[in-house]
A and B are shown apart, each in its own frame.
Chain A
Amino acid sequence: MAKKEVSYYPGCSSQTGASSSNMMRATQTMCDELDIQLNEIPDWNCCGASIGYGGGGELPRLTLSARNIALSEQHNPGQEIVATCAACWLSTREAKERLHEDANMFRDANTALNEINLKLNNQTPVRHMVEVLVEDIGFEAIKAKVKKPLQGLKIASYVGCQTNRPFGIAEESFENPVYLDHLIESVGADSIPTYEKKVQCCGGALAFSEPEKSQEMIHGIIEAAYDHGADLIATPCPLCQANVEIYQDQINARFGSKFNMPVVYYSQLMSVAFGRNSKDSALDGQIIRAKSLEEIAGK
């Protein structure tokens, strides 16, 4: 397979010492195995995420993403922008589309970009890493790479919101996307097709501002996984991963539950299945250790 080069947009939480730095590490490992070269967008900035709207109006937020696209077009010409964070992907793709549809907004964004001598052409596709895996690499090629099948593991696929809506992965349904189940099966584990919280909201940014309401939803997400006999929850989204993993102590205290459910990224599953060790697979980044994966990685 020829090396695939993409213009990579990792996002704030993927940075060293940030909440999804483990995802970054596993993504790098996974891409090494699949011969995907990640060319980081130089000096990329925050996308504004889905919570920036209070302080930032429409144009300032779109301009934030416009800067990233413009930088990518300048420094990584001809390469598709690929993000691993749901919010990064969503904000960037949304900006691309809205600036494409609204000529006035496009003009205004370029006026702002002109302040720093940047120019947006807005001709670059903005994709999610999952799209690269599903559409470009394919499940069969992933299967072929598996050295240590994750046999016997039962994994709940928690797709969450923003990887799924409003854009989603082509040909998937908003109500029941199945690509993550296919990925789980491709690495030799068992998916849970009837996992009913697959696209349930975890509260997103409101996990900070409305912790009680959010934790009630997170409780449901974990409980359903337990009810289906899941060993792990797997997700593509950094905020989903963090929200579902790190509050389990607080949720246990609030609801009297005894949750201790590991929540991992698809990239971690793939790294382990491709034969890489715990560290490369960023299993040391778990707050709730994924012991079953560590065992396979250690074999």
Chain B
Amino acid sequence: MSDLNSAMTERYHNSFLKEVEANVEEGEWVKMCMQCGVCAGSCPLGNAWEHTPQKLFMMIRAGKREAVLSSDAMWMCTSCYNCIARCPRGLPITHIMHGLAHYAKRLGLVPKNQPTAQFSQIFWDNLMKKGRVNELKLGLAIYFKDGFGQGIKNALANKQLGQNMMKAKRMNAMEFFGGHSIKDTGGLQKMIKKAQEIEDAKIQGNS
């Protein structure tokens, strides 16, 4: 158990809902769910979720901390925003899902090898390097996320796709060497570091 996780467990032992309110993006909305289930019925990957948003909200209210934070569910969000558009109570469900996912990651509770969790981190790291996403490296990083051998296999399986993209000039092998970048990468990194510090301090302060 990470230190932050133990600290949070200790502090909010009585109310996971309060922990979510204080630490999860848009978490203060969770209590306003009226359990109608429209989100569950509107989610394009609803059938792939272990727990629908409706259930996650109920679990939060029932204090099922471990089950929620180690759930695979919120990582199934495709960010289609259908739940937000339809929620009769106006809950920003997509953002709460992102927030829960991020909080679980922060506490080190994400299930091992959760592909979207991995991709999400790879994406973030990729964009932080140059300030812009390098699609080639992003793709390769995903193929090779489970080691070199698996990477070659993945790459071969998608060989045709890559060739098609290059032919259409929508992928460039040269991107592997440097590639697109903003001018002020240092500044951007400094700025984001500051933002992270502010956010970390807030959450540490809550622990």
User: Does chain A touch chain B in the assembled complex, meaning CB atoms less than 8 Å apart?
Assistant: yes
**What would 9 more interface pairs be, CB under 8 Å, given A161-B78, A209-B118, A210-B45?**
A18-B180, A54-B116, A55-B123, A57-B199, A116-B190, A166-B84, A205-B119, A209-B116, A217-B44
Q: In the assembly, what is the distance between CA of A55 and CA of B141, in Å?
A: 15
Closest to B163 in A: A287
- Contact residues in A for B86 (Cβ distance below 8 Å): 174
Which stretch from B7-15, B33-41, B56-64, B127-135 is at the chain A interface?
B127-135
Interface hits, B55-86 → A, CB 8 Å:
76, 78-82, 84-86
Interface hits, A91-149 → B, CB 8 Å:
108-109, 111-113, 115-116, 118
Q: In the assembly, what is the distance between CA of A48 and CA of B98, in Å?
A: 13
* B118 and A285 contacting across the interface, CB-CB below 8 Å: no
A129 to chain B, nearest CB (A): 19
* B174 and A17 contacting across the interface, CB-CB below 8 Å: yes
- Total A-B Cβ pairs within 8 A: 213
- Contact residues in A for B135 (Cβ distance below 8 Å): 12-13, 18-19
Q: In the assembly, what is the distance between CA of A46 and CA of B84, in Å?
A: 24
Which stretch from A60-68, A227-235, A258-266 is at the chain B interface?
A60-68
* B101 and A17 contacting across the interface, CB-CB below 8 Å: no
* B119 and A209 contacting across the interface, CB-CB below 8 Å: yes
* A53 and B120 contacting across the interface, CB-CB below 8 Å: yes
Q: In the assembly, what is the distance between CA of A20 and CA of B133, in Å?
A: 13
* A12 and B180 contacting across the interface, CB-CB below 8 Å: yes
- Contact residues in B for A67 (Cβ distance below 8 Å): 188, 191
Q: In the assembly, what is the distance between CA of A115 and CA of B189, in Å?
A: 10
* B196 and A60 contacting across the interface, CB-CB below 8 Å: yes
Q: In the assembly, what is the distance between CA of A63 and CA of B119, in Å?
A: 21
Interface hits, B107-143 → A, CB 8 Å:
115-121, 123-125, 127-128, 131-133, 135, 139, 142
Which stretch from A75-83, A243-251, A291-299 is at the chain B interface?
A243-251
Q: In the assembly, what is the distance between CA of A109 and CA of B182, in Å?
A: 20
Interface hits, A253-299 → B, CB 8 Å:
284-287
- Contact residues in A for B115 (Cβ distance below 8 Å): 209-210
Is A4 in contact with chain B by the CB < 8 A criterion?
no
Q: A43-B182, A54-B121, A112-B192 are in contact. Are A201 and B170 (CB under 8 A)?
A: no
The count of chain B contact residues (Cβ–Cβ below 8 Å) is 65
Q: When the two chains form the complex, which single residue of B167, B169, B188, B198 contacts A45, counting CB atoms closer than 8 Å?
A: B188
Q: In the assembly, what is the distance between CA of A166 and CA of B82, in Å?
A: 8
Is B22 in contact with chain A by the CB < 8 A criterion?
no
Is A176 in contact with chain B by the CB < 8 A criterion?
no
Seen from chain A, the residues whose Cβ lies within 8 Å of a Cβ on chain B are 12-13, 15-22, 43-46, 48-60, 62-64, 67, 108-109, 111-113, 115-116, 118, 161-162, 165-166, 168, 174, 199-201, 203-206, 208-210, 213-214, 217, 246-247, 249-250, 284-287
* B85 and A166 contacting across the interface, CB-CB below 8 Å: yes
* B133 and A46 contacting across the interface, CB-CB below 8 Å: yes
- Contact residues in A for B125 (Cβ distance below 8 Å): 55
- Contact residues in A for B45 (Cβ distance below 8 Å): 201, 203, 206, 210, 213
Q: In the assembly, what is the distance between CA of A238 and CA of B98, in Å?
A: 22
* A55 and B194 contacting across the interface, CB-CB below 8 Å: no
Is B31 in contact with chain A by the CB < 8 A criterion?
no
Interface string of B165-182 (1 = CB under 8 A from A): 101111110110000101
Q: In the assembly, what is the distance between CA of A63 and CA of B131, in Å?
A: 12
Q: When the two chains form the complex, which single residue of A46, A57, A161 contacts B80, counting CB atoms closer than 8 Å?
A: A161
Q: In the assembly, what is the distance between CA of A236 and CA of B142, in Å?
A: 26
Is B156 in contact with chain A by the CB < 8 A criterion?
no
Is B151 in contact with chain A by the CB < 8 A criterion?
no
B26 to chain A, nearest CB (A): 8
Q: A60-B199, A217-B44, A250-B161 are in contact. Are A55 and B120 (CB under 8 A)?
A: yes
* A286 and B168 contacting across the interface, CB-CB below 8 Å: yes
Most buried by A among B44, B171, B183: B44
* A165 and B182 contacting across the interface, CB-CB below 8 Å: no
Closest to B143 in A: A208
- Contact residues in B for A203 (Cβ distance below 8 Å): 44-45, 78
- Contact residues in A for B2 (Cβ distance below 8 Å): none
